[in-house]
Amino acid sequence: MALPNRPELAVFRGKSTEEALALWVTEFAGGDKQVASRYAAVLARFTAKPERGAVYEAYLGGYSPATRRMYAAALSEFFEWIAAKHGRVVAPPAVTRKDAEDYVEWLTTRPFSLEKEKLRDGDQKERLALYEIVSELGSADIVSIGARAPDWLRSAHPSRDGLDSGWLHRELGRMVLHDLLVRAPTIEELRREDPRIGISVFTVNVPDGKQIHQVPLEELFIYTLPEPRAVSRSTIVLRLAALTAFWQSLTVADNSGGDGAILRYNVFTDVAKRVGVGVAADRRAASARKGRLTPNLVERLLRSADGPSLTEKRDAALLWFLVLTGARVTEIARLRRSPPPAAEAMRWPGWFDSRTDPPCVELLRKGGARQRLPYPPYALAALAAFQSELSKRVPLLGTQNREPKAPHYLAPSAPGWRYKSLAEEPDAPLFPPVAFWGANSSHNYQEFKPNSETRPDYR
């Protein structure tokens, strides 16, 4: 037998109407006006919506809108769970430590879901009826669901055949959107065959032996209930933080008279402490994993940079160094191709030293700390390939840029002189820009970035 609707919990679901507040207070305060006023004051802290356009200062001393939404969802879930557990709405004074521990165990395992309880607001009677029909059938199409619809639902949405199938299809779609139901096949699966499905095409070709039938989209779906899923420990900690804060507010009295605080003890404090042990370390580990490239993606990146051009060889050398050292982009951009003179050692932000065995790189790390690392062999091979290709673009020995009429003359603006600087100067970048575009292209970059007339440096 279906349990009665629970509109008294609607206030936790963002429905702060006078009727919802009256139902909630009547249930939890037992009609006591003083207790009701204190409940209402605490409840406003957790569920009240800020004024439109409120600035940050408006939240000082209170909860931000995001925190209020999260806390209201946690409170709603707990009272839905305990109502399902006991078969009735349970007021905060009647909640025990055993209930708090059982709630944590339910979050950890999720043996049953609360979708049915979420529909017991009194204003979702139709969705609750559809949910119960699918629950009884296990899995059903739109025809089976319509055949089991109660008479009052047929009267609310009548058609010549009984229940309006168009309304039923739309309502079931909304329930899928709100995770109350699951349907197969999904729209995403159907759109792999035809991207217009559900937009301009509302029939699907279904093979039946040697024939192909066009089936209306609404008749194709099979509806089931979603499988309950356990939540992570960090989510459990957030749920308990909301409940602990709410219970703590109820244990504090004010000077408005009455018999003191509504509650004597916070039954969630101990279990919240136990669950929270080690969560900070878990969050740090999860944060470190967030955004980390998978080995397959790293391999694809390295393959995409592999090529015969100078730019591709530079990119390959740079990617290998990034992957194998974990250096930051700013640290790599400041690396120079050779060690500095002794007097300049503290002024250079980093360099590559090929004289050591194995070759090393010195980095200026975060916080100004210097670190000396051996250059990884795979990255060293890629760097050698890049430098070899770069040296091929250096002008031949004996080439000069001073006397245009003398032999072996090469104009000062020729790119070869820039490649010579990048390949030979000790303070040249280890991973330099090797190509320019737009206003900085090879035919006019001297005009925009000259350092000297005879030996321009475009690093």
The three-point CA angle 42-48-51 to 5° equals: 140
Query: In this predicted model, which residue has the larger pLDDT, 106 or 454?
Result: 106
209 has pLDDT over 80: no
Give pLDDT tens digits for 335-389.
999 999 888 888 888 999 999 989 999 998 888 888 999 999 999 999 999 999 9
pTM: 0.57
Give pLDDT tens digits for 81-114.
888 888 887 888 889 999 999 999 999 988 888 8
Look over the chain and give the mean of its residue pLDDT values, rounded to a whole number.
Answer: 81
Q: Judge whether 449 and 458 are in contact, CB under 8 Å.
A: yes
Output the CA torsion sign for 79, 82, 86, 91: negative
pLDDT above 70 coverage of the chain, percent: 83
pLDDT score recorded for residue 455: 43
| CA–CA dist 402, 416 (Å, integer) | 15
- Partnered with residue 163 across adjacent β-strands are 158
Peptide bond into 65 cis (omega under 30): no
441 has pLDDT over 80: no
Output the CA torsion sign for 49, 53, 54, 57: positive
pLDDT score recorded for residue 448: 38
pLDDT score recorded for residue 137: 92
Give pLDDT tens digits for 148-160.
999 999 999 998 8
Q: Please give the helix or strand (H or E) that residue 370 lies within, else none.
A: strand 370-374
In this predicted structure, which of 18-32, 50-64, 391-405, 422-436 has the lowest mean pLDDT?
Answer: 50-64
Give pLDDT tens digits for 238-254.
899 989 988 988 888 76
| CA–CA dist 207, 137 (Å, integer) | 26
| CA–CA dist 59, 214 (Å, integer) | 57
> Which one of 1.10.443.10, 1.10.3720.10, 3.40.50.1400, 2.20.25.10 gives the CATH number of domain 295-391?
1.10.443.10
pLDDT score recorded for residue 59: 52
pLDDT above 90 coverage of the chain, percent: 21
Across the range 298-307, mean pLDDT stands at: 86
Query: What residues does each domain of the chain span?
Result: 7-112+234-275, 125-224, 295-391
Instruction: Spell out the alpha helix ranges (H) of 87-227.
Output: 97-109, 115-118, 125-137, 142-147, 151-156, 165-177, 187-193, 217-220
